[in-house]
Amino acid sequence: EGELIFRYILEMTGARAPVRRLWLSSLTEGAIRDAFRQLRPASDYDALYAAARCRSEADWIVGLNATRYYTVRYGTRGLLWSAGRVQTPVLALIARRDDEIRTFKPEPFWELMTRYRGVLFTFTGDRFWKEAEGQEWLGRVQGHPFVIRDVARKQERVQPPLLYDLTELQRDMNRRHAMSADATLKAAQALYEGKAISYPRTDSRHLGSDMKKEIPGILRDLRPIRPDEIGRLDLEALAFSGQIINDKKVSDHHAIIPTGKRPGALAPAMRKVFDAVVTRLIAVFYPACIKDVTIVAGESNEVPFRARGVRVVDPGWTVLYPRRAENDKENGEDEQELPEFRPGESGPHEPFLRAGETTPPKHFTEGALLGAMETAGKLVTDEQLKEALKERGLGTPATRAAIIETLLQRGYIARTQKSLTATDLGRYLVALIQDRALKSAELTGEWEAKLRAIESGRLDPRQFMDEIARYTADLIRSGDAVTVDAGRLGECPRCGRPVIEGRRGFGCSGWREGCPFVLWRQYKDSELSLEQVRELLQLRVLLQPVSIEGSGPSVLQLTDSGAIVEIPVPVGRERGQTVAAGRRRTPSRQRAGARPRRQVEGEGSRGLGPCPLCGSEVVEQERSFRCSGGERGCGFAIWKMIAGKRIGVRTAQALVREGKSAVLKGFKSKSGKSFDARLRVQDGAVRFEFGSR
């Protein structure tokens, strides 16, 4: 943070000169002149400095100690386990969602529906989990007329969305254009430096009252590039509602808005971000979208049904977002247009049972993850409630993109199309960390709220840092003190009741009340011992690897739903999990009396770097670049001739150290056709990768 960087410089130089602070939310000439006329004493920002320093030092203390602790305790050669105050809860959020999907078992259900006058009506009761029960209710209405009992009409007003803060801008760009949070931030920063938009790293979605006089001029300057949209506004009489102007909700910087400068040619990403910011500023002054909503209640043989119809009376601000309106229409299954119904009318209908299956939750997209980080893991759709939870979010708008990129670079998560998923390495790290607080989004959210309290002068920084120091000491002590109580089995992961032993396994003592949790003694081809069962139930993870047929050694983890998930044990050094990847290592000291390491194919073999499978050195041989570890190596090899193209040392080094090569030209297919491709190390083998990924 800028304030902290400057204070560090001031502290290190020992400067004693008076300091006044220039505070900018825009880089236009007028904004800079105004800011210079309103320089403020540095002491006005002492609380901001204190909060920034506490955040930095807390991250350093927790991250340094947790990383060293888990690396020393669980690391192997070349394996560094990186943990942190914010990155670990974010990783745990992703891993938990993936486990929910992995262990999800779809359940069939049936819904009672009927069609009357071409309109689909739905039974107002619950869905049926047994088809026979659904068929029984279907039989009740077959052969009986359908009667309209009530027609209720109301008008709904959907207000325009709030202005952008950085997180909402990143989410919107990810949702609409599949842009990463990092790409959006870079584009927004470039636009800010080009004086086209205001300061992007803001967490406010409102403007201060001092901006009222600026907005008409900004829109007037932008009218040449948006003549139709801005032409519908009366710039002399703009309606500034509390959704737009709210001094209490503007922190250091106001919401992201255009400055009025019309940029020239822009890169595609910058153009998308600029267009979105301009459209949002226009949209907040458009009228609400007005819908007529009709709820029709009917019945057949005293079985109640309901239909909901929606008709857009005035699209209002939604005319600016035609694709969004179309998506809402496609996703809103019950938003059908209804004919005129009269209470008391009746006639024949067509009842039927519609079969369906429960669906698992979806993997996090980057936009969805940013939303979860903003609300500390709580799923919130209401914008006002989201604003209230902001103080307890994970990270800050300025750091969230970097947190996601850090997890990607360390190999703990991966991008799969639009989704973010935890890798086996990331899942293994989450399983290793026994301290639930370190993985807790709620605790990190509380810390963020306290940092904001420091920033506003409501909390003593020393009090916060004392809490961080105590927590870190407890983290190390409690990790060393983790034990399994041999006097009990453990608690049910679903409901918390004690677990009891049965003939073939272990189950919840609340089975009479309907708790279905069971842990069988036999897990695939392994039989769990009583000690292993206790460890699973009490610690939720079995860190002593179990050999699973077909998948190798794995640790077993017990989820909150009571399902077991397998996490493969990392083999040696896997690319990406350590920031030391690619650095030269200090040679390990030869033990007295130890046999010299076997050199493969003579003393002249050239080392290229550590093997991505086992961490041993990869060396050059006559026909390949091959792992030198063990008696014969682990089997990893890069052939010098691949698809008719010779692979040189530089390409092999890139594959070993970075996991991929540049795009190479001149490969030959089996049919003799030439093609270009990138080489990538995947699952211990060298594979082709096509396209520009």
500 Rama class: left (phi>0) / alpha (psi -120 to 50) / beta: beta
* Full DSSP string of 74-129: H--TT------TTHHHHHHHHHHHHHHHHT----EEEEEEEEETTEEEEESSPPBS
Euclidean distance between the first and the last CA atom of the chain, given in angstroms as a whole number: 32
- Which of 151, 153, 181 is CA-nearest to residue 167? 181
Contact 643, 667 (CB under 8 A): yes
Rounded Cα–Cα distance for residues 423 and 360 (Å) = 19
User: Residue 608: what residue type?
Assistant: L
Rounded Cα–Cα distance for residues 167 and 173 (Å) = 10
What are the residues facing 312 on neighbouring strands?
291
Is 319 strand, coil or helix?
A: helix
Distances (CA, A) of 458 to 203, 453, 646: 19, 5, 66
> Which value, to the nearest 10 degrees, does the dihedral of the CA atoms of residues 470, 475, 479, 482 take?
70
Helix, strand, coil fractions of the chain, as percent rounded to 5: 35, 25, 40
Parallel, antiparallel or unpaired: strands 350-357 and 499-501: unpaired
Active site residues: 199
Distances (CA, A) of 389 to 373, 477, 538: 10, 32, 32
* Full DSSP string of 253-299: S--B-B-S----S--HHHHHHHHHHHHHHHHTTSPPEEEEEEEEEEE
